[in-house]
Amino acid sequence: MGGQPVLVARPDGSSRGELSIDIADVVCRARLAAAACCLLRPEEVAHEPLFDLVCSDVRCIEPGDAGARRLRTSWQLAALRARLAGWSSAAGESFWREWHRELRRHIGDQRLPYPLRVRLRALADRALERSTRHGRRLAARPFPRRRLRDCRPMTLPPDRLAKVERLALQHGIPIGSPLVALQFQSRIGLVQDAVEALTDAGYTVVRFGKAGPGGALTRGTVVDLTTQDPIPEIELYVLLTAAFVVCDTDDVQHTTYLTGRPCLRLNAIEPFSAYPVRRDGLFTLATAVELASGRALPLDELHGEAYLKHLDRYAHRPHDARQVVAAVSEMIEGVRRGWTEDRAQADYRSRVIEAGRLLHPSLPLVRRWGTDDGFLGDGRLARVQASAADVSRQQ
């Protein structure tokens, strides 16, 4: 458009997290290709304010009617090609899998000569491998960790920002004072002490998202948006302007990759999808409890095959208030004095990378969320948990 190439994309609107990752990814790709980008809005999220974000060094195009039709057509053609490729992979996967099973029926037939059965077994194994290969092509796109690390923060255009600011002010959010965005769906009592610590450190906590059990926060300086219907513009404003974000869902954590704010992810259930890409990210893991026995798993088992392969065999218990306070303190320290990493945190990252390397071929979860060409993330597990994991390993 105007001599500049345009990258057209239709982000996945199934969740806000997926949408954020896709938008960030498209903007990064456009930057690398020195192109402009044009985001086609899926109908279900047509009014999502994330589409209004702009980037300083990549032109985002809102095409006019004629241009829009052309871009939409070219995107539809590309999407059709991708869909056909998907169907072909699905058909291939199904065919080779069934072929494998059909051959196996004959392997057990004692009437057939033994050398033929050996040959059939080899053929069946090869068919299963081909099925797996086709299946891998079907798997969701790997999480673009490297590109997200290099992603520059996006923001609202000044006029839009001013408008949203006025709206935020009407809802009691102090403009200009340091904010911490809090989204927490577990029992709110678990973050009460942390909120108090944040207030002591001079922050105003803005709680948003779905309210979890436990009612309202009773201590500290808090603006509670969970008591009213959610207003996406205000939530986005908080995510754009907060000193850092504390959350316990993937969606919010992934949105911070777009808004560029430091993020503390609480109660992640496994380290791959939650491992922070950027240096200003921290995360903590919930306690996994084996349903059959009631055993609480040590942290190092949460990147083991037995756990990741059968996540449904475990329930998760949120970590205690003490750990939340410790993680929030580490966050405050990082924001104010710069991000540092101790040996236990670096060791933990190495162990997760190593586990990812080993499990990549066999586990779809690791293929989706694992390392990107050996890179897992510059963020880290909160010190309080990394040290505990280190101690339990040494014992």
Partner 1 sequence: MSRVLFVMLHPGFVRYYDDALDALAAAGHDVHVAFEVSRTKLGEDVTAQRLAARSPRITCGPAPSRAESVRTFLTRSDRTATRSGGAARSWRDPAVREEARESLATTVRLLLDYARYFEPAFAGAHALRARAGKRLPRVYPPVVRAVARLGPGARSALRRVLMGLEHAMVPHASIEAFIREQRPDVLLVTPLIELGSQQVDYIKCARRLGIRSALCVASWDNLTSKGLIRVAPDHVVVWNEAQKQEAVTLHGVRPDQVVVTGAQVFDRWFAASPSRTREEFCARVGLDPSRPFVLYVGSSMFIAPDEVPFVERWLSAVRGGDDPAGRPGVLVRPHPANAEQWRAFDSDLDNVAIWPPIGTTPNDPDFRRDFFDSLYHCAAVVGINTSAQIEAAIVGRPVLTIRAPEFAHAQEGTLHFQHLVGADAGFVHEARSLAEHVEQLRAVLSDASSAAERNRRFVASFIRPRGIDLPAVTAFVDAIGTFAAMPPPAPVRDSWLSRVGRLPLPLLAWTTHRLAEDRPLWVYAVRPGVAAAVWVAAVPYMLAEAWHSAGYPRVKRASRAAYRVWYESTRSLGRLTRRARRPIVAVVRGAARRFARRNA
| Residue 273 CA: distances (Å) to CA of 142, 358, 379, 385 | 11, 16, 12, 17
Rounded to whole angstroms, how far apart are CA atoms 179 and 289?
A: 34
Q: For partner 1, what does the binding mask look like between residues 194 and 223, x meaning CB under 8 A? A: ------------------xxxx--------
Rounded to whole angstroms, how far apart are CA atoms 80 and 82?
A: 5
Taking the complex as a whole, the smallest distance from the CB of residue 274 to partner 1 amounts, in Å, to: 18
Rounded to whole angstroms, how far apart are CA atoms 303 and 300?
A: 6
- Residue 318's nearest CA partner among 368, 268, 362, 366 is 268
Task: Look at strands 263-268 and 314-317 and give their pairing.
Answer: unpaired
Taking the complex as a whole, the smallest distance from the CB of residue 296 to partner 1 amounts, in Å, to: 9
- Residue type at position 395: Q
Q: Which two tokens stand for residue 184?
A: 């927490």
Q: Give the nearer residue to partner 1 in terms of CB position, either 320 or 342.
A: 320
Rg of the chain (C-alpha set)? 24
Rounded to whole angstroms, how far apart are CA atoms 384 and 159?
A: 42
Rounded to whole angstroms, how far apart are CA atoms 389 and 122?
A: 44
Taking the complex as a whole, the smallest distance from the CB of residue 305 to partner 1 amounts, in Å, to: 18
Taking the complex as a whole, the smallest distance from the CB of residue 232 to partner 1 amounts, in Å, to: 22
Residues 56-95 that bind partner 1 (CB under 8 A): 94
| Residue 131 CA: distances (Å) to CA of 79, 97, 117, 368 | 24, 5, 21, 18
Selected binder of partner 1 within 41, 309, 316, 368 (CB under 8 A): 316
Taking the complex as a whole, the smallest distance from the CB of residue 211 to partner 1 amounts, in Å, to: 9
Q: Give the nearer residue to partner 1 in terms of CB position, either 64 or 113.
A: 113
Q: Give the nearer residue to partner 1 in terms of CB position, either 312 or 373.
A: 312
Length of the chain: 395
CB 320 within 8 A of CB 385: no
Selected binder of partner 1 within 159, 294, 338, 373 (CB under 8 A): 294
Beta strands in the chain (DSSP E): 6-9, 36-39, 179-183, 204-207, 222-224, 244-247, 263-268, 281-285, 287-290, 314-317, 380-381
Taking the complex as a whole, the smallest distance from the CB of residue 112 to partner 1 amounts, in Å, to: 5
- Residue type at position 298: P
Taking the complex as a whole, the smallest distance from the CB of residue 324 to partner 1 amounts, in Å, to: 12
Residues 121-180 that bind partner 1 (CB under 8 A): 128
Asked if 190 touches partner 1 (CB under 8 A), the answer is: yes
Dihedral sign computed on CA atoms, order 223, 226, 227, 229: positive
Q: Give the nearer residue to partner 1 in terms of CB position, either 66 or 292.
A: 292
Taking the complex as a whole, the smallest distance from the CB of residue 336 to partner 1 amounts, in Å, to: 30
Rounded to whole angstroms, how far apart are CA atoms 332 and 326?
A: 10
Q: For partner 1, what does the binding mask look like between residues 96 and 125, x meaning CB under 8 A? A: -xx-xxxxxxxxxxx-xx-xx---x-----
Q: Give the nearer residue to partner 1 in terms of CB position, either 52 or 250.
A: 250
Cβ count within 10 A of residue 291 = 12
Selected binder of partner 1 within 189, 232, 304, 364 (CB under 8 A): 189
Selected binder of partner 1 within 71, 167, 289, 388 (CB under 8 A): 289
Q: Give the interface size with partner 1 as a residue count (CB under 8 A).
A: 37
Stretch that binds partner 1, among 235-243, 244-252, 291-299, 351-359 (CB under 8 A): 291-299
Residues 347-386 that bind partner 1 (CB under 8 A): none
Residues with Cβ within 8 Å of 324's Cβ and at least 6 positions away in sequence, in order, are: 190, 191, 193, 194, 266, 284
Rounded to whole angstroms, how far apart are CA atoms 164 and 230?
A: 14
Q: Give the nearer residue to partner 1 in terms of CB position, either 234 or 308.
A: 308
Taking the complex as a whole, the smallest distance from the CB of residue 287 to partner 1 amounts, in Å, to: 8
Q: Give the nearer residue to partner 1 in terms of CB position, either 117 or 393.
A: 117
Rounded to whole angstroms, how far apart are CA atoms 367 and 361?
A: 7
Taking the complex as a whole, the smallest distance from the CB of residue 393 to partner 1 amounts, in Å, to: 24
Query: For binding to partner 1 (CB under 8 A), which residues are involved?
Result: 94, 97-98, 100-110, 112-113, 115-116, 120, 128, 187, 189-190, 212-215, 289-292, 294, 315-318, 321
